[in-house]
Amino acid sequence: MTRVSTAELSERLPDILIRVVERAERFVVERDGVAVAVIQPPAVQPGPTLHQLPALLADVDWPDTDFFNELEVVRAEMNVPVEPPQWPS
């Protein structure tokens, strides 16, 4: 855990928050040499945002059309009818 004074915290808050978020660093904030606070990542990390989703999906290998054709062959061989669900009226 890195120790910072309250003065240093006020001067470097953006940098410290970036380190907390991106590197999961923890900081002990001290006033006159006495610990008064701890800055750390939340216990539960948030998942990706909707804004980040396209970038995360960019590298996904999607099944090609052969995959879906093979599924149809397997379904036909198993002789399992596929019926659309009945919606309540």
Model confidence pLDDT, tens digit, residues 52-74: 999 999 988 888 889 988 988 88
**Confidence bin at 39 (pLDDT 50/70/90):** very high
The structure's pTM equals 0.50
User: Does the pLDDT of residue 89 top 80, yes or no?
Assistant: no
Indicate the residue type of 12. Answer: R
Give the residue from 49, 76, 15 showing the smallest Cα distance to 2: 15
Distant-in-sequence, close-in-space partners of 20: CB < 8 Å, separation ≥ 6: 26, 27, 39, 40, 41
- Per DSSP, the three-state class of 45 is coil
Report residue 63 as tokens.
């099944």
What is the distance between the alpha carbons of residues 75 and 61, in angstroms, rounded to a whole number?
A: 23
pLDDT number for residue 47: 85
DSSP letter at 33 equals T
pLDDT per residue as tens digits for the range 23-38? 999 999 999 999 999 9
Mean pLDDT for all residues in the chain: 90
